């Protein structure tokens, strides 16, 4: 049995430019012209931007559609909300991803600010650097509490 690491691993600090663009690591860039999906999300009370491949987005839609014990109307509504909160984008030929100003503002990201790109396996997140530190601290506390018996974290 072999294990292949997912596309998006680790984290890196970058700086938004004055036009709300951020450089994407070469290893994380899709094929030229391939779309990515931006999704506004939040964790532990902090808003940030999730960046998904089309395949990862399709997997999320599938997971919603196949949820057992949920009324079809509720599934349809969840999918509507999912599609309502996304934006299809591409990376320019300089390897930069444009985050619309209104999306950036809602995620507490300003022009010329430091952001953290965080690999999450099938997708990556773009967070305000200060907010990321708080998210990571809350995540670690939660995981340590729930998985303390296995002594990995």
Q: How far is CA 12 from CA 22, 54, 125, 143, in A?
A: 11, 22, 11, 22
Residue 2 lies in a domain: no
Provide the token pair at 77: 């509504």
Assign residue 111 the CATH number of its domain: 3.40.1550.20
Angstrom distance (rounded) from CA 19 to CA 94:
14
pLDDT at 153: 67
- Interval 21-40: pLDDT, tens: 999 999 999 988 899 999 99
Q: Are 113 and 16 in contact (CB under 8 A)?
A: yes
Q: Total structural domains in the chain?
A: 1
- Interval 53-82: pLDDT, tens: 999 999 999 999 999 999 999 999 999 999
The boundaries of the domain holding residue 145 are: 11-150
* Displacement of CA 42 from its chain's centroid (Å): 10
pTM: 0.89
Neighbours of 52 (CB within 10 A): 21
Residue 133 lies in a domain: yes
Residue 3 lies in a domain: no
């Amino acid at each position: 049995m072999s294990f292949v690491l997912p596309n998006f691993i680790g984290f890196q600090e970058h700086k938004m430019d004055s036009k709300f663009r951020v450089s994407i690591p070469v290893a994380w860039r899709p094929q030229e012209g391939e779309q990515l999906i931006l999704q506004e999300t939040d964790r532990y009370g902090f808003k940030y931007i999730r960046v998904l491949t089309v395949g990862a987005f399709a997997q999320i839609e599938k997971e919603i559609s196949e949820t057992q014990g949920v009324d079809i109307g509720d599934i349809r509504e969840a999918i509507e909300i999912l599609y309502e909160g996304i934006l299809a984008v591409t990376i320019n030929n300089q390897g930069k991803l444009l985050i619309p100003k209104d999306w950036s503002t809602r995620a507490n990201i300003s022009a010329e600010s430091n952001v953290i790109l965080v690999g999450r396996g099938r997708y990556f997140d773009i967070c305000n650097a200060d907010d990321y530190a708080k998210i990571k601290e809350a995540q670690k506390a939660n995981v340590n509490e729930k998985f303390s018996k296995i002594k990995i974290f």
